[in-house]
Amino acid sequence: MTAPFDPAEHPHRRRNLLTGEWILVSPHRMKRPWQGQTETAPPLSLPQYDPSCYLCPGNERAGGLINPNYTHTFVFENDFAALRADTPDGTLQTNRFFQSQAETGICRVVCFSPRHDLTLARMDLPDIRRVVDLWTQQVEELSQRKEIGYVQLFENRGAMMGSSNPHPHGQVWATRRIPTEPAKEDRQQRAYLESQGAPLLLDYLNAELKAGDRVVVENEDWAAVVPFWAVWPFETLLLPRRHCQHLADLAPEERDALSDLLRRLLTIYDNLFETSFPYSMGWHGKPATPGDHPHWQLHAHFFPPLLRSSTIRKFMVGYEMLATPQRDLTAEQAAQRLRMQHQTHYLDR
């Protein structure tokens, strides 16, 4: 007699509500031995100030400009921006097979702290709140420009996720057109509102809070969950409990609550393998294009690559690149492991 299907043991597919795409979950593969590549763990300590760091206060940047002696946060135009505001307009379509469009935009670097040795997980709450306020200010300012269609805030944390400098910082890229991933989310959220009469991510969060098995950490205004459709092993989705279309919608107390939840979530990450946990994170909010966007719900994605330890990562190769994303650890198992972690940072205990 065939054993009943158990999603904690048997291969299955899960649908990503935000993109409409599917992922493959193969939980039985967690039992396989690992003989693949291992990474070098990040250094245990860094200096508070590094004279060779191009993001530290008072230092010369790679482009030749000198940073001010900033004491909290600092924003500057990226010296090697991927987008330029002065790109000539134009399209190229020699036939149906070869199409291109000129794209304009603005790229900035956002320094979270003058301290070279800190991360968001180890910053004081008032300083994290300054980062939240700075994110909000950047979205508000750039969204008001008529040539901007979308503002993307993000942070690459750690060399494993491509960060070229350990100084605590993120980036903001503002583009004329809506990029691919937010465009998928725009379509899915719009379709859900039209069919169900409510924002997709509000209904989804309420369902997650009711189920409970994928909730990692929460407070009165925010919750972080391992999404049902998570691809990365310890991926999380950070959501406000009420309808907010972008960061500027947040009340002062919600910004305080966000600062609290960010520190708690990132502390949990660091405690999991007792390392400065690498990740790519980013905020998705409503487009800057004119018109009403009631279907949009503000949220942040955290995509950490670590799988089994501080030196063993998840690779997106082969089947993931050619067919569909695949994961071994189920979302429920990942959330349980994260919930078990202490919320005081391992370096402070």
Task: Convert the pLDDT of each residue in 155-211 to its tens digit.
Answer: 999 988 888 899 999 999 999 999 999 999 999 999 999 999 999 999 999 999 999
Domain total for the chain?
1
Q: Which of 127, 304, 135 is nearest to 226 (CA)?
A: 304
Range of the structural domain that residue 161 is part of: 43-348
- For residue 303, give both structure tokens: 């995509």
Residues recognised as catalytic: 169
Q: Would you say the C-alpha torsion 333, 336, 340, 346 has a positive or negative sign?
A: positive
Residue 224: inside a domain = yes
* % pLDDT > 70, the chain: 94
Residue 24: inside a domain = no
- Average pLDDT on 282-298 reads 95
Residue 14: inside a domain = no
Q: Helix 331-339 crosses helix 252-273 at what angle (to 10 degrees)?
A: 100
Q: What is the pLDDT of residue 339?
A: 97
HSE-CB at 108 with a 13 A cutoff on CA atoms is: 20
Element housing 224 (H / E): strand 222-225
Predicted model pTM: 0.94
Residue 33: is its pLDDT beyond 60?
no
Task: Convert the pLDDT of each residue in 88-129 to its tens digit.
Answer: 877 666 678 888 888 999 999 999 999 999 999 999 999 999
Q: Using an 8 Å Cβ cutoff, are 174 and 191 in contact?
A: no
Residue 2: inside a domain = no
- For residue 74, give both structure tokens: 């600092």
Task: Convert the pLDDT of each residue in 134-158 to its tens digit.
Answer: 999 999 999 999 999 999 999 999 9
| Residues listed for the chain | 349
Mean pLDDT of the chain: 93
- Rounded CA-CA distance 44/56 in Å is 19
Residue 114: inside a domain = yes
Number of continuous H segments (helices) and E segments (strands) in the chain: 6, 16
Locate all alpha helices (DSSP H) within the chain, ordered by sequence: 125-143, 180-196, 200-211, 252-273, 319-322, 331-339
Residue 21: inside a domain = no
Q: What is the CATH number of the domain that holds 55?
A: 3.30.428.10
Residue 337: inside a domain = yes
Residue 4: inside a domain = no
